[in-house]
Amino acid sequence: MWIYEKKLQYPVKVSKCDPRLAKYLIEQYGGADGELAAALRYLNQRYTIPDKVIGLLTDIGTEEFAHLEMIATMVYKLTKDATPEQLREAGLGEHYADHSYALYYHNAAGHPFTITYIQAKGDPIADLYEDIAAEEKARATYQWLIDLTDDVDLQDSLRFLREREVIHSQRFREAVEILKDHEGEKKVF
């Protein structure tokens, strides 16, 4: 069960009218290394991972939905007042033809989200390494998105999201260390 708090995890301020950026930001919405893929991946892996790290997957999976909501807010703000002509100029003509102003889960190139983006192997080490890789790839995506805009307010929100990827990667690697379970070994830390 979840409890919903009716505010964003971090404020989203968009100061520059730039509908084209929405086309790029959607990568983190419905792309392979996006927030939707991350949330679904972690929340699904929870059931078959050792008890010690279930809570971590719950917490991070939940936070990914909070990030998804931030990305959605950015995309919405960048497109809601654009004319169809402006959307067309921004490379969003195809999107408008199918979805009008609605958001949709696809990547920057327009490919629809597919669940084959994520894996659940049932092997705790294999699953956690996928999670670590996912965090580093999402961090990289945020870097390229920061590079693609000069809106400092939007960059600020993107930097926050990028830092969260750094921390999540750290926690997943700590989870691997926990599961290595050095008990019984003569090992000095």
Partner 1 sequence: MDKQWRFYRPYRSPFDPCVPKRVKAYIVPPNQFMPFQPPGLRTFSPHEALRRGTLWPDLYSRYNPPHREEIDP
Active site (annotated) includes residue 94: no
106 interacts with partner 1 by CB under 8 A:
no
Q: Is 67 a catalytic residue?
A: yes
Most distant CA atoms of the chain, gap in Å: 69
Based on the residue annotation, tell me whether 111 is a catalytic residue of this protein.
no
Shortest distance, CB of residue 69 to partner 1, whole angstroms? Answer: 16
Binding mask 5-24 for partner 1 (x = CB under 8 A): -----x--------------
d(CA 180, CA 164): 24
Q: Tell me the window of 12-20, 37-45, 50-58, 168-176 that interacts with partner 1 (CB under 8 A).
A: 168-176
Is residue 77 part of the contact set for partner 1 (CB under 8 A)? no
Q: What is the number of other CB atoms lying within 10 angstroms of the CB of residue 143?
A: 14
Pick from 81, 85, 89, 163: which binds partner 1 (CB under 8 A)?
163
**Token pair 């008890």: residue:** 51
C-beta of 87 vs 138, nearer to partner 1: 138
Identify which of residues 77 and 171 has a Cβ nearer to partner 1 in the complex: 171
> Judged by CB under 8 A, which of 115, 126, 133, 167 binds partner 1?
167
* Token pair in block for residue 129: 């390494």
Amino acid at 118: I
The pair of structure tokens assigned to 121 is 């192997």
The contact pattern for partner 1, residues 109-148, with x = CB under 8 A and - = no contact, is: ------------------------------x--xx--xx-
Question: CA separation (Å) from 73 to 69, 70, 171?
Answer: 6, 5, 27
Tokens 């999402």, located at residue: 138
User: Which of helix, strand or coil describes residue 106?
Assistant: strand
Give the contacts of 71 (CB within 8 A, at least 6 positions apart): 25, 26, 28, 29, 34, 35, 161
Contacts with partner 1 by CB under 8 A: the residue count is: 19
Which token pair is 118?
A: 């994520």
Interface ranges with partner 1 (CB under 8 A): 10, 139, 142-143, 146-147, 159-164, 166-167, 169-170, 173-174, 177
Instruction: Tell me which residues are annotated as active site.
Output: 35, 64, 67, 135, 165, 168
